Structure 1
Amino acid sequence: MATGCIRLVRLGMCAGFVLALLTRAAVAGPPYVSDDPEPTDYKHFEIYTFNNGTTTRDGTTGESGIDFNYGAAPDLQLTATLPAGFDLPAGGGTNVGLSNIELAAKYRFLHQDGFGLDVSVFPRIFLPSGSNSVGDNRASLLLPIWVQKDWSGGWSAFGGGGCTVSEFRAVDFCQAGAVLTYQILPKLQIGAELFHQTADSNGTPATTSVGIGWRYDLNDNYHLLGYVRRGIENTNETDQYSWYASVLFTF
């Protein structure tokens, strides 16, 4: 755990360095692993229908589901994620079931117009999946902090991280990430991400990955999001490749 925390601090310093170097408000968060500090607009909804997955030498695991976000108050977003999980072991067989339901609340307590950065906390509770083959059958809590900076010309950077803790988990773990996005066309945004996570269980190594993402706005209410990622540390064990795809409805 000590080694993992040192790595987390180093990556956090790197993310901070990227944010410091890079000098139109951007929509962030999904499709990336790292989140952003911008809550859903007050009295508005963001609903993602998504599919994601990761392939390692042991097989492929992933989820499909719906991610509900509601702007419950200025600077406050309430979130509920309802996923169905799947597990395709390399040796054959398929496991499908309800994965970990997520409940979260994002609160932005600092703003760019006054502080220079948007800063939010976004605690997230993962409920037990109730399955030994899909998801995690133990409850856990992610405690992260996220920051963002936007510039004229279509550039934006966001990132941060936190740790996941559980009374019943043998190993708590931490994660950190940084994303740089660019509004290349009026309806198309692209971005790149560096992400790191410490070992999340005994015998499972830490992982570092790089990914690219995009968002295409069909109109004000319908949006297409995609993301692909590959591990650059312990690749075969943790992340030979990953993906995320979703249709976002905003209203």
Structure 2
Amino acid sequence: MMFRLDGQVAVVTGGSKGIGFGMAQSLGRVGATVIIASRGKDSLIQAAEQLESEGINVAYYSVDVTKKHGVQLWIEEVIRDFGRIDILINNAGKNIRKTLLDIEEEDWDTVMDTNLKGIFFVGQAVARQMIQQEYGRMINISSIFGGIGGSHQTSYAASKGGINQLTKVWAEEMATKGVTVNAIAPGYIQTPMTEGWLSNEDRYNNIVNQTMMKRVGTLADMEGPVVFLSSEASRYITGQTIYVDGGWTAK
């Protein structure tokens, strides 16, 4: 029962596709009411319909996490509609893969605005509510590239390293207020969104060869960590970044 989330409200940004959708699905399966958010309304409707078909209580909101005022209004609306926010999966993000010499200022700003500024805006707005209710589980989604180097990852790696540090700072600030803050750092995860990129045989083999378990991850591999960190089972864990990478970063 420590892993059940019945009666709890979970917000998942970037929750209509890929890893975000998979985590929303995982939380809903153990009883949480799931609120998914992203910019694209059509993808939100499709995701919500799929979750509802599994018996998951779901709502969706279209929001741009890079706009502070819009984020604040959205969180206020969620609180009016549901009364509280118990879990935040701070997941919205993007990547533009270019070398140091090729990346443009616009590329840098696009990635940092979504991956770091957006994480900050959503985290700040939700933290106010969690502190007020004296309970919360905040989970920021990082990446293996927050802790290791990798070519073509200048802005992405910088943003994910920033998320790891935000996680530690926020954990310190809210540790005595009933709120835990942790990060999940996935390696390469197979999703409908990454299938095309991973279909390159040389790229796929390179990833597998650097992974201890000799395979890429799946959405099912994310399920245990996100449910654990969202539940009472993790109540004495805060400020940590958990790598879900098949052993990549341990080599």
TM range (shorter): 0.3 to 0.5
Normalising to structure 2: TM-score of the pair? Answer: 0.34
Normalising to structure 1: TM-score of the pair? Answer: 0.34
In proportion to residue count, which structure has more strand? 1
